[in-house]
Structures are given as structure tokens and as C-alpha cells.
Amino acid sequence: MTTGGSTSATSSGPSGAEPGVRPALQPGRTARINRSKYLRRKSTDAIMGGLCTFAAVLGLVFLALILFTLLSKGLRGMSLDLFIHKTMTPGNHGGLANAIVGTLMQVAIGAVIGTPLGIAIGVWLAEIGRNGRLASIVRFVNDILLSAPSVLIGLFVYQVIVKPTGNFSALAGGIALALIAMPVIARTTEDIIRLVPDAYREGSVALGARPSTTILQVVLPAASGGILTGVLLAVARIAGETAPLIVTSLGNLNWNFDLMRATASLPMTIYRYASSPYKEWVDLGWAGALLITFGVLALNIASRVTMYYRARGRRA
């Protein structure tokens, strides 16, 4: 059609589509598939899926082998003597009672010191420091502690506490465990608090609450389930630590309830007994490893159950 001596095309192509735009399929027509590319992608997907499945199965096989070995060897040393007798020299039918009590003492010290510090750091990072420069520095240092080898933390406590006091002690071991648990709890607390909806904070402020009141009575209760889970996981981690205890609490073959003296612990006892030439000690070492495994498993199950019931309560 012509207007004013000029001609304008009603369409820019045979299908009426604009240049550079792929025309839409007409009814009754199907797109052509590049069969070679399709087969290549299909085979690549099958290979990667098979490799992932193989890796998962391989990991489960190794885990099953570890558990089978632990159960088969650990059950040999299980007896009532294990829980009522202290560690003794070979041939005297000793147990691990003092090591169990020593582990509970040091883990309790670590949890009592590390939990409030970790929660306080996490709350400050999530609610007060946020994205400030100081918060970035604190977060960076916390991540360093989170990934630092535990033996370095043990050596630090040795220089700060053991060397000045002149003796190994359960208190030094507990402080070393607290320094390991603290960054775990801090990171978990920060992440969980950041998940609390801002509407909670806004509603509290709208009612006239101060920031401290909002944090203590609104944010923390809402995040308590996740924080508790982080604490349980941190306790599960420090319960099996050996390296920091070598240079802090050292170990003891006798009963000890004095926090300022060397104290036995399950990880240290396992470390020494497992490499012993005496079969009785080796069996006790495997039994101690089984006890720690069951303890860590129980803490992990407790954390999962806590998360489940907290989530169920929120849905209700």
C-alpha cells in the first residue's frame, strides 16, 4: 500500500515477525530438535548423576564400615567395670569412670563459658553491628577461630593459663573447649537471628519497646530453637576434642575433682589406650570411642528433635 508516494511493508518477514525475534510456532507445528545435542546432554546428565550416586553410596559404605568396626571392637570392652572403676594399670580390670567424669566436667566448663559469649557475639553481629566495619572485623576473626586447628587454641591456652600457673588443669581444658565452641555458637546465633522476620522487630518498636527489649523479649525467643540447636552441635564437637587437652588438662589415672589439677578425659584416654600394646587397654580405648560416638549421636538427635518441635509449634 502506498501513501504519499512511499511504500511501507506490512511485515518484515514471511511470518510477520520483527527482525531478530524468533517467530512463534504455528498451531500444529513442532520445533526441530538437534538430536546430537540432545543425546550429548542426556548422556552428560546420566554420567554426572551416576557419579553423584556413586559418591553418595561410597560415603555410606565407608560410614557403615566405620560403625561396624566401632561396634564390633567397642562392645568387647563394654562392661559394668567401665562405668564404676577408674583407669588402672594393665591387668587390674580398670574402667573409664574417672575419664567420663573428667570429660563431663571439662565439656560443662566449655559450655558454660562458651555459650553466653557465643550468643552475645552472635546477637551483636546480627542486631547491633550488622554491616559496620567493626562487625566485619569481628566476623572475620570469628571465622578464623571457626576454622583454626584446635591444637593452636590449646597452645594459646597453655601459654596464657597453664604456663603462668605452673600446672595442667581441668579449668585450662575447659577454657580451650570454650574457645572452640564459642565461634560455632556465634555463627549459628547470627544466622538464626537474621532469619527472624523484620515484622517482629517493627511490631515491637511500634508498641514503644526499646531496642534492648525487642532483642531480649521478641528476637531471642523467636530464634531460641535454632540457637539451642547450635549450642548442642557445638557441645557435640568439643566432646570429642583431643588435641587441645594434650597441652591443657594432660590427663590423670586417678579421680580428680579439683579444677586446678590435671584431669582425665575420654579423648585423651582413647588416644593413649588405642596405641597401647596391652589388649585390655586397647579394648577400653575402643569402648571409650563407642561411648563418645553414642554421646555425639544423642546430642545430634536432640538438636534435630528440638528443631522439629520448634517448627511444629510455629506451624500450629
In a domain, residue 200? The reply is yes
Q: How far apart are CA 163 and CA 254, in angstroms?
A: 23
List own/partner pairs for 4-7 with CB under 8 A and 24 or more apart: none
**For residues 169 and 259, is the Cβ–Cβ distance under 8 A?**
yes
* Higher per-residue confidence, 219 vs 311: 219
What type of residue is 20? G
Asked whether the predicted pLDDT for residue 257 surpasses 80, the reply is yes
Q: How far apart are CA 195 and CA 55, in angstroms?
A: 32
What total number of domains does the chain contain?
1
Q: How confident is the model at residue 20, as a pLDDT?
A: 53
In a domain, residue 19? The reply is no
In a domain, residue 60? The reply is no
In a domain, residue 75? The reply is no
Asked whether the predicted pLDDT for residue 105 surpasses 90, the reply is yes
User: Who's near 45: CB < 8 A, 6+ residues apart?
Assistant: none
* Higher per-residue confidence, 118 vs 38: 118
Distance in angstroms between the alpha carbons of the first and the last residue of the chain? 69
User: Which sign does the torsion angle of CA 150, 153, 159, 163 carry?
Assistant: negative
How confident is the model over 150-185, as pLDDT tens digits? 999 999 999 999 999 999 999 999 999 999 999 999
Which domain, by its residues, includes 196? 94-315
Q: How confident is the model at residue 23, as a pLDDT?
A: 56
Can you tell me whether residue 90 is helix, strand or coil?
coil
Query: How many other C-beta atoms are found inside a 10 Å radius of the C-beta of residue 248?
Result: 29
In a domain, residue 201? The reply is yes
Q: Which residues of 92-103 are buried (b: 16+ CB within 10 A; e: fewer)?
A: eebbbbbbbbbb
How confident is the model over 215-235, as pLDDT tens digits? 999 999 999 988 998 999 899
In a domain, residue 83? The reply is no
In a domain, residue 36? The reply is no
How confident is the model over 83-98, as pLDDT tens digits? 999 998 888 888 999 9
Q: How confident is the model at residue 311, as a pLDDT?
A: 75
Average pLDDT, the chain: 88
Q: How confident is the model at residue 22, as a pLDDT?
A: 55
**Mean local confidence (pLDDT), 44-70:** 96
- CATH code of the domain containing 183: 1.10.3720.10
- Alpha helix (H) residue ranges in the chain: 35-74, 81-84, 97-123, 133-147, 150-157, 163-165, 170-194, 198-206, 211-214, 220-239, 243-246, 266-274, 279-315
Is the pTM value of this prediction over 0.85?
Answer: no
In a domain, residue 56? The reply is no
